[in-house]
Amino acid sequence: MVALLAGRSRCSIALGVAIRNRSAYQLRCDICDTSCCWGRRHWCCSSCWFGNGIVRLPWAKSDHGSLWCCGYDFLPSSRLHLGPFTLLCVSALWWLPLVTEPSIGHVTAKFLLLVIPDLAAQCIWRPMNRVLASQRITSPFMFVSLLALVCHYLFCLSLVSRFGALGAAVATSLSGWMTLFFGTASVWLVGAGPTIWGGQSTDEAIKQGGAGWLDLSKLAYPSAAMRILESSGFSGIVTTSSLLPFPKIEVDIMSLSLNVYGCLFTPFPALSVCADTRVGNAIGRGAAMEAQRAMRVAAVLSIPSAAAVSLVLVVPQCRQLVDTVLHLDMLDARVKAGLDTIFTIFVCGFYYVDGFQTALSGAIRGTGQQQRGARICVLAYWVAGIPAALALGFAAGLKSTGLWLGMMVGPFVQMVLYSWLLVKLDWHAVAATCEERLRPMDEVDDSATGA
């Protein structure tokens, strides 16, 4: 549907989605994920999975009734992290037209302002989703996602054609609140309301459980930095393509290829979350060998997953469906030619390399190595990948093709360094450290049971 809009509207949506997804969205996701999984990695109970661990951790409500997920209050989080992003969006009215075509920059800045309500809704919905997913309560939310997708399509159908890029932003915000509404209803329907909103705890208990802001931030912010540093590089190439000759053609190629890549890439973040959960739970129980096995399984599964995803761009019937969804017949022939070349890059290596490092990144987070992972991301993308992309795209004259070829250096460096880090990691020492943290809590629980 967006492909039917004028070139400037498509560029504005592409840039707006890139900035929104690669800054506030990733930061909020990783902080919520870390807070909800904190007990699993460092103070989870000796029994398997997250179910008992979440009971053992402090749950609390503040005086104004805000939600706590393992000691994490989402209302202060919203104020803390949505505030700077709102300032970023407001300031974009000034700085974005300076770094891209002015007409595109102004519309993109307005797009960013209109998607802020969606981020606010997601700050409430994401913690609930992650807590229940960690307890393997996922089926209702598959239905919620499907229902939200239908609503989003209907919103886009009525708003995009009438208001263009700004209509897409309004549709996104409406869909976000619809997701929150359906998600909240599903929480009550599955009887998980007390798990999400119930329970009380004192500040002393929260501090004893190690779920305070300082403890969470030691893993949450490096974890967020890992994804932001990585994904902002990909978003940056979309923005940078507007500086190439024939910017409308190049931005169309880059934005459409990035959207296709992201849609087909979804199995790999799911694989990363599974690795994160399995490795973290095993480490929390002191089962170092089991954690290593979970890491290896996730890495191996990324290879057939990449092959399956690549088939979508290889099998003629599937490729024709992709072209139909993108409305390539209505776009410039140079856009189609550029996409053909970039899709070949995806199939011949990009999905395999990026998928493999994404699976390993879950093990990095599960073992609490986020700070090292963040440093690797800086080296992979901002020292190696982005300079290579700029050199090939601009200096070598390969344009959008060169930008993608250069960015493949980033995932390759990540894959090599993540593999080296996990091979050299003393898994038994990491597991022993978690057991040491568990011991005082076990003693307290035993004393309470005896009393």
pLDDT tens digits for range 362-371: 999 888 888 8
State how far the Cα of 118 lies from the Cα of 280, in Å rounded to an integer.
Answer: 30
Q: Where are the alpha helices (DSSP H) in 190-332?
A: 193-197, 203-208, 213-240, 247-264, 267-284, 288-312, 316-326
Domain span holding position 283: 2-450
Contact 39, 54 (CB under 8 A): yes
Number of domains in the chain: 1
Higher pLDDT, 418 or 192: 418
Q: What is the CA radius of gyration of the chain?
A: 22
In Å, how far are 193, 299, 304 from 26, measured between CA atoms? 26, 23, 27
Average pLDDT over residues 428-448: 65
Contact 363, 295 (CB under 8 A): yes
The model's pTM is: 0.72
State how far the Cα of 437 lies from the Cα of 418, in Å rounded to an integer.
Answer: 26
Length of the chain: 451
Predicted pLDDT at 8 = 54
Q: Which two tokens stand for residue 227?
A: 């994804």
Per-residue pLDDT at 86 exceeds 70: yes
Q: Which two tokens stand for residue 422?
A: 């996990």
Angle, alpha carbons 209-84-414 (nearest 5°): 70
Which amino acid does the sequence have at 440? P
Collapsed DSSP state (helix, strand, coil) of residue 68: strand
Average pLDDT over residues 135-157: 78
In which band, very low, low, confident or very high, does the pLDDT at 223 lie, cut at 50, 70 and 90? Answer: low
Predicted pLDDT at 439 = 60
Exposure string of 51-65, with b = 16+ CB inside 10 Å and e = fewer, is eebbebbbbbeeeee
Predicted pLDDT at 53 = 29
